[in-house]
């Protein structure tokens, strides 16, 4: 009886006809729901997700997916950035490759190509200052001159500390690293010589620090400890505790008039009087990008890009499976169905959320359930042929 009910649900879950494709033709299908970072120009947002990249055009209300077919280098993307001076978007990869996107033309730049460095070359962050881009990497800081279109400096840190992010406060360059926070007078000393850099002292700040943000001449430093997150304020000489929470700190961002701490369900304003700037228990925020006074954009771990306009959220996400359908797949007449959460052998995968995912007429529909044991059993008990399926991390290939 239970199996019959589930078959009924499966058959009515998809209503359209599966499109005809050429035999042997492959298509990539990404899940874009887990957004990590968003950067913005005047008319476009670029969203980085664990499944890939996409633009959202504000003028035309249009989503444009970016993949290798569109000219990007491809591989695991680790960071994105934007240069308002040149209207260039930057895409950094774990391999060390960088894509520069300008006027929809994509240029591949790779400092590490001729390097003998066998260590990690991951790109962590892009920071723009004047006509240069400071690229935080796992081996130091690369300085790219946008006019010369070449790398002009390389800052190697002590003990090969990984650099997560750089920010400028006036003429001081700060770097958050795996060995603490360091700073240097950007204009008056040779930044390539790491002996000219100074560290912000403190037992906490000598450890792994990933989150920093400058605002009005002060530096805010976020550290996630075992039981709490702590935010410090550094004015150039004095280090003070600004805020602490039992929740995990996701990011530190700057708006027009303050610095905000990003937590899973809320934004906390860090000024003279600490206050909640925005609270929404339906969101799972990874990062936030402020657009103007009344609008900001959330990189959400379950809903992808969420535009908050005058407090009202609007989800902007390309069509795709809500989760990666990691497990079983079947063809049911003119429909293709997948489940998540179990391998074919019945062993549970790391993805615990269960669901049915239907691909039809070039569109995905998803139905998420708390338990897919019954669904998994159904797929291999009913007499429906299994399609040829190959699954990679964050993408699905379908061949008819």
pLDDT (tens digit, 9 = 90+) per residue, 19-62?
A: 444 444 555 666 798 999 999 999 999 999 998 999 999 999 99
Number of H helices, E strands in the chain: 2, 35
pLDDT at 389: 38
Residue 393: count other Cβ atoms within 10 Å of its Cβ.
Answer: 9
pLDDT at 350: 45
318: pLDDT strictly greater than 50: yes
- In this structure, the dihedral spanned by the alpha carbons of residues 192, 198, 203 and 207, taken in order and rounded to 10 degrees, is -10
Distance CA 362, CA 320 (A): 9
pLDDT at 205: 79
pLDDT at 380: 46
Per-residue tokens: 141: 């800081």
Q: Which is more confidently placed, 397 or 130?
A: 130
| Contact present, 98 and 72 (Cβ < 8 Å) | no
287: pLDDT strictly greater than 80: yes
Residue 104 banded pLDDT, cuts 50, 70, 90: confident
pLDDT at 61: 94
Distance CA 378, CA 364 (A): 21
8: pLDDT strictly greater than 50: no
For the stretch 120-168, pLDDT in tens is 899 999 999 999 999 999 999 999 999 999 999 999 988 889 999 999 9
Q: Each residue of 211-240: b (16+ CB within 10 Å) or e?
A: bbbbbeebbbbbbbeeeebbbbbbeeeebe
Share in percent of the chain as helix, strand, coil (round to 5) = 10, 50, 40
| Contact present, 166 and 141 (Cβ < 8 Å) | yes
Q: Which is more confidently placed, 292 or 245?
A: 245
Q: Which residues contact 273 (CB under 8 A, 6 or more apart)?
A: none
| Contact present, 298 and 358 (Cβ < 8 Å) | no
Q: Give the H or E element holding residue 151.
A: strand 150-155
Mean pLDDT of 204-221: 91
3-state secondary structure of 205: helix
Q: Of how many residues is the chain composed?
A: 400
Q: Which residue is listed with tokens 């609270």?
A: 279
3-state secondary structure of 398: strand
Q: Which is more confidently placed, 13 or 362?
A: 362
- Percent of the chain with pLDDT strictly greater than 70: 70
Distance CA 69, CA 91 (A): 16
372: pLDDT strictly greater than 60: no
For the stretch 332-361, pLDDT in tens is 666 666 666 544 444 444 444 556 667 666
85: pLDDT strictly greater than 90: yes
Q: Which is more confidently placed, 275 or 170?
A: 275
Superfamily of domain 35-312: YVTN repeat-like/Quinoprotein amine dehydrogenase (2.130.10.10)
Torsion over CA: 31, 32, 33, 34 (sign): positive
367: pLDDT strictly greater than 60: no
Residue 215 banded pLDDT, cuts 50, 70, 90: very high
Q: Which is more confidently placed, 330 or 132?
A: 132
For the stretch 223-279, pLDDT in tens is 998 889 999 999 988 999 999 999 999 999 998 888 999 999 999 999 888 999 999
pLDDT at 331: 59
3-state secondary structure of 297: strand
| Contact present, 136 and 127 (Cβ < 8 Å) | yes
Torsion over CA: 127, 132, 135, 136 (sign): negative
Pairing relationship of beta strands 26-30 and 395-399 according to DSSP bridges: antiparallel
Which residues pair with residue 391 across a beta bridge? 396
**Domain assignments of the chain as residue spans, ordered by start:** 2-29+320-399, 35-312
Spatial CA neighbour of 137 closest among 97, 109, 170: 97
pLDDT at 170: 85
Spatial CA neighbour of 126 closest among 163, 95, 160, 153: 163
- Percent of the chain with pLDDT strictly greater than 90: 57
Q: Where are the beta strands (DSSP E) in 280-349?
A: 285-290, 295-300, 304-309, 312-316, 329-332, 335-340
Distance CA 152, CA 145 (A): 6
Distance CA 33, CA 224 (A): 25
Q: Which residue is listed with tokens 């304003």?
A: 269
Per-residue tokens: 156: 């190697």
Q: What is the mean pLDDT of the chain?
A: 81
Q: Give the H or E element holding residue 4.
A: helix 2-13
């Amino acid at each position: 009886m239970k199996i019959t009910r589930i078959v009924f649900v499966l058959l009515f879950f998809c209503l359209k006809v599966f499109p005809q494709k050429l035999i042997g033709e492959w298509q990539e299908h990404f899940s874009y729901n887990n957004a990590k970072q968003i950067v913005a120009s005047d008319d476009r947002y670029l969203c980085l997700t664990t499944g890939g990249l996409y633009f959202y055009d504000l003028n035309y209300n249009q989503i444009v997916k970016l993949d290798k077919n569109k000219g990007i280098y491809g591989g695991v993307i680790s960071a994105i950035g934007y240069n308002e001076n040149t209207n260039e978007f930057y895409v950094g990869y774990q391999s060390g490759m960088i894509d520069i996107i300008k006027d929809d033309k994509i240029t591949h730049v790779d400092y590490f190509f001729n390097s003998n460095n066998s260590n990690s070359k991951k790109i962590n962050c892009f920071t723009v200052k004047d006509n240069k881009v400071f690229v935080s990497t796992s081996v130091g800081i690369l300085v790219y001159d946008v006019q010369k279109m070449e790398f002009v400096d390389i800052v190697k840190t002590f003990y090969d500390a990984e650099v997560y992010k750089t920010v400028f406060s006036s003429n001081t360059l700060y770097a958050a690293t795996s060995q603490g926070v360091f700073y240097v007078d950007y204009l008056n000393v040779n930044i390539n010589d790491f002996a000219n850099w100074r560290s912000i002292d403190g037992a906490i700040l000598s450890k792994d620090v990933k989150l920093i943000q400058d605002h009005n001449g002060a530096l805010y430093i976020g550290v996630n400890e075992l039981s709490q997150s702590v935010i410090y304020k550094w004015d150039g000489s004095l280090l003070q505790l600004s805020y602490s929470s039992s929740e995990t700190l996701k990011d530190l961002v700057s708006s027009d008039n303050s610095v905000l701490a990003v937590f899973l369900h809320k934004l906390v304003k860090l000024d003279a009087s600490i206050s909640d700037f925005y609270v929404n228990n339906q969101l799972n925020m990874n990062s936030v990008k402020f657009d103007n006074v009344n609008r900001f954009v959330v990189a959400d771990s379950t809903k992808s890009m969420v535009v908050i306009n005058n407090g009202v959220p609007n989800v902007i996400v390309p069509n795709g499976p809500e989760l990666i359908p990691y497990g079983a797949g079947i063809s049911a007449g003119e429909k293709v169905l997948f489940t998540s959460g179990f391998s074919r052998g019945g062993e549970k995968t790391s993805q615990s959320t269960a669901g049915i995912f239907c691909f039809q007429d070039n569109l995905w529909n998803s139905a998420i359930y708390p338990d897919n044991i019954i669904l998994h059993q159904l797929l291999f008990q009913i007499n429906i042929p299994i399609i040829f399926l190959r699954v990679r991390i964050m993408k699905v290939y379908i061949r008819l």
